[in-house]
Amino acid sequence: MEVGFTGTLFSLQLRDGQHPFSLSNIATVMNVAGKLKSRLEFPPEKFVETMKLMEHRYGAKDFVTSKDL
């Protein structure tokens, strides 16, 4: 059995200006500031707890989640 990994690397240069693809226009159209403000904060311990739960459930056959995570 072979196991492999792949990766892709992109390089972009964005310059602020009046172009439709300017960094400020993209940020406005995508509502970046609003999305950042609407994020939920969790302590690291809660993240670790959630990851352990997901690791446990990952291999479970016919698993149906009991709550939204």
Q: What is the pLDDT of residues 7-21, one digit of tens each?
A: 677 777 766 666 777
3-state helix, strand, coil in the chain (%, to 5): 40, 0, 60
CB atoms closer than 10 angstroms to residue 19: 12
| Whether 22 contacts 15, CB under 8 Å | yes
pLDDT at 3: 47
Q: What is the pTM of this model?
A: 0.38
